[in-house]
Structure 1
Amino acid sequence: MTERSELAGIARFTFHEGRLEEFKRLSARCMEIVRTKDTGTLQYDIYFNDDESECIVLERYRDSEALIQHAAHVGDLMEAILATGSVSGELLGEPSAELRANLAGSVVRLFTPFRSM
């Protein structure tokens, strides 16, 4: 993370039996939304393990406003995506008060900077 306001996210999925193809279909729609609508998403990469039973999504956002915008753009897909498996996540950075409030009660754990280069 190069600037104080930049945020990084890590989402981890373990898929329910038979739900992998649904996740792939939904994640393709998500990627299209990110590419065409998001203005502050810096990175949005999806990785699978060897047997495709697990997935990690790496995300980077310019600032809290960019992440809030992204969440609004993909919000209609989130319930269906979350239904494909068990999910956990981490957000790294210093989110705004609004973003902190949005994260309350979610599966996302927040990690704030201690030391960085």
Structure 2
Amino acid sequence: MSLVKPLQLIAHFTIHPGKTDEFKKIVSQCIEVVEAKEAGAGTLQYDWHFNADQSECKVIEAYRNSEAVLEHAANIGPYLGQFFEISTFSGEVFGPASESLKKALEGMDIKYYEFESGL
């Protein structure tokens, strides 16, 4: 029996000094967009976590498939550039990322991991 796993992502942002409030405003806008356009559809999880001094943020995300990630990227695209101006980004993708998703994320600091086994 093969497991059908969602495509999972972890986005990591190191926020530039003095930019946390601005970063959090953009986070709020992204959450509003995702709730309005994606919740209950292809987005299964979209959780933002900050470290104790709020200099780093990790976003734990899960999507039905690569197409849902591409839809998400289109929806929040206007905000990504704002994040990149005030933070340093890296990410990880867990699961079967399509070639179109890999191409869309080309040039970004992303590592890909394929599912091997588990529950």
TM-score (norm 2): 0.90
For residues 14 and 105 of structure 1, the distance between their equivalents in structure 2, rounded to whole angstroms, comes to 18
Matched residue, 1:113: 115
Code of the aligned partner of 1:43: Q
For the Cα contact (< 8 Å) 2:90–2:108, is it kept in 1? no
Q: Where does the alignment leave 5 or more consecutive residues of structure 1 unmatched?
A: none
Query: 106-115 or 14-23, which moves further after superposition?
Result: 106-115
Aligned partner of residue 72 in structure 2, secondary structure: helix
Distance in 1 (alpha carbons) for counterparts of 2:118 and 2:106? 26
Distance 2:84 2:115 in 1: 28
Q: CA deviation at 1:103?
A: 2.1
Identity across aligned pairs (percent)?
Answer: 39
Q: TM-score, normalised by structure 1?
A: 0.92
What is the root-mean-square deviation in Å for CA atoms of aligned residues? 1.2
Q: CA offsets, 1:69-99, max 9 Å, x none?
A: 0000000110001112111110101012211
Runs of 5+ unmatched residues, structure 2 = none
Q: Does the 8 A contact of 2:45 with 2:60 survive in 1?
A: yes
